[in-house]
C-alpha cells in the first residue's frame, strides 16, 4: 500500500504544477463546501493540523518517565489516565478517555484496534501504518506472542499477555517497565528511553546500554 522509507516515497515530490489526484480533489471540494455553508470555519482545518503536528510520542514518553519517578503520580495516572496527562499540561482535543496499562514482571500489555485505528492520539500523535493494517489488527488479539516475536520481543511463558482492544471512546497507553540500570536518571534521561512502540507494547523501553551501544 505505502512505502516504508521516509524520504523515498514517490508522492513526496509532488509539486504545484502536478494535478492533484481524484481523492485530494474530493477532499478539497468537501472542505470548501462545508466552509461555504458555514458548517465549519475556514481556519479550523489549519488550526487542527497545528494541533496534530504538536502531538508526538515525546508527550507519552514524558508521562511514562514521570510515572517511573513519582509513585503518587503513577497511582493517579493508573486510576485516571486522562486526568494524569492533563495534570502534566497535556490537553485532550477530543472526548476520548485514556486507560494506562502498567507492565509488570507478571503482565505484559499490548494495544490494538481490531475494528479500525483507534489510538491514543493526544499523547502519541498519529499511529504508524502497520497499526492500521490488517495483519496487526487481526492477529494481535489471537496470537499476541507470535506478533510480538515479529517485533523481536520474546515474552516468557510465565508472563501473562493482556491485549486491550481500543474503541472510539476508550483508548489505551502502555506504561512499560523501567529498564535496569537507570537509577539516578533524570526525567529527561528516562523519557529518552521510551519509544512509541514501547507505549503500544510491541517492544520494551530501551535499556541505557542499548542507547549507548555503537
Partner 1 sequence: MTETRALVERLPNDIGGVKSAPIQQVEHELLPWEKRCHALADVLDFHKIINTEEKRRGVEALGAEMVNALSYYERWIVAFANILFQRRVLTPTEVARKMDEVAARSDDISQAAKA
**How many CA atoms does the CB half-sphere of 182 hold within 13 Å?**
25
Residue 106 is a binding residue for partner 1 (CB under 8 A)? no
User: Which of 40-48, 70-78, 79-87, 206-214 is the region at the interface with partner 1 (rule: CB under 8 A)?
Assistant: 40-48
Nearer to partner 1 by Cβ, of 104 and 138: the residue is 138
Cell matching residue 75: 497511582
Nearer to partner 1 by Cβ, of 80 and 114: the residue is 114
The verdict on whether residue 85 carries a ligand-binding annotation is no
Residue 136 is a binding residue for partner 1 (CB under 8 A)? yes
3-state secondary structure of 11: helix
* Residue that has been written with the C-alpha cell 478517555 in this structure: 97
Residue 160 is a binding residue for partner 1 (CB under 8 A)? no
Binds partner 1 (CB under 8 A): choice among 73, 78, 102, 139: 139
Residue 170 is a binding residue for partner 1 (CB under 8 A)? no
Alpha helices in 37-159 (DSSP H): 44-54, 57-69, 71-79, 81-87, 121-124, 129-132, 134-139, 144-150
Residue 137 is a binding residue for partner 1 (CB under 8 A)? yes
Return the active site residues: 113, 116-118
Binds partner 1 (CB under 8 A): choice among 78, 90, 126, 161: 126
Q: How far is the CB of 111 from partner 1 (least distance, A)?
A: 13
Q: How far is the CB of 61 from partner 1 (least distance, A)?
A: 18
Contacts of 100 (CB under 8 A, 6+ apart): 63, 67, 77, 78, 81, 84, 172, 173, 174, 175
Residue 134 is a binding residue for partner 1 (CB under 8 A)? yes
- The rounded distance, in Å, linking the Cα atoms of 202 and 112 is 10
The verdict on whether residue 142 carries a ligand-binding annotation is no
User: Which of 57-65, 72-80, 107-115, 172-180 is the region at the interface with partner 1 (rule: CB under 8 A)?
Assistant: 107-115
Q: CA geometry: angle at 39 spanning 33 and 41, to 5°?
A: 90
Site residues for partner 1, 65-84, by CB under 8 A, read none
- As a dihedral over the C-alpha atoms of residue 13, residue 8, residue 55, residue 82, rounded to 10 degrees, the angle is 130
**Annotated binding-site positions for Fe(3+):** 113, 116-118
**Annotated binding-site positions:** 113, 116-118
Amino acid at each position: 500500500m505505502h512505502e516504508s522509507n521516509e524520504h523515498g516515497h514517490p508522492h513526496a515530490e509532488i509539486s504545484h504544477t502536478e494535478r492533484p489526484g481524484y481523492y485530494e480533489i474530493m477532499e478539497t471540494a468537501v472542505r470548501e463546501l462545508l466552509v461555504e455553508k458555514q458548517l465549519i470555519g475556514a481556519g479550523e482545518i489549519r488550526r487542527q493540523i497545528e494541533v496534530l503536528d504538536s502531538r508526538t510520542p515525546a508527550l507519552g514518553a514524558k508521562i511514562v518517565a514521570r510515572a517511573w519517578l513519582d509513585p503518587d503520580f503513577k497511582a493517579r495516572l493508573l486510576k485516571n489516565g486522562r486526568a494524569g496527562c492533563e495534570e502534566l499540561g497535556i490537553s485532550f482535543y477530543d472526548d476520548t478517555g485514556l486507560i494506562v496499562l502498567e507492565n509488570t514482571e507478571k503482565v505484559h500489555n499490548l494495544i490494538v484496534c481490531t475494528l479500525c485505528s483507534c489510538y491514543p492520539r493526544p499523547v502519541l500523535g498519529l499511529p504508524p501504518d502497520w497499526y492500521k493494517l490488517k495483519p496487526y489488527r487481526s492477529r494481535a488479539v489471537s496470537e499476541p506472542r507470535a506478533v510480538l516475536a515479529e517485533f523481536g520481543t520474546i515474552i516468557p511463558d510465565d508472563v501473562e499477555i493482556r491485549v486491550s482492544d481500543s474503541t472510539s471512546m476508550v483508548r489505551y497507553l502502555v506504561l512499560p517497565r523501567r529498564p535496569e540500570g537507570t537509577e539516578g536518571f533524570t526525567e529527561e534521561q528516562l523519557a529518552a528511553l521510551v519509544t512509541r512502540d514501547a507505549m503500544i507494547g510491541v517492544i520494551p523501553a530501551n535499556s541505557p546500554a542499548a542507547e549507548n551501544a555503537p
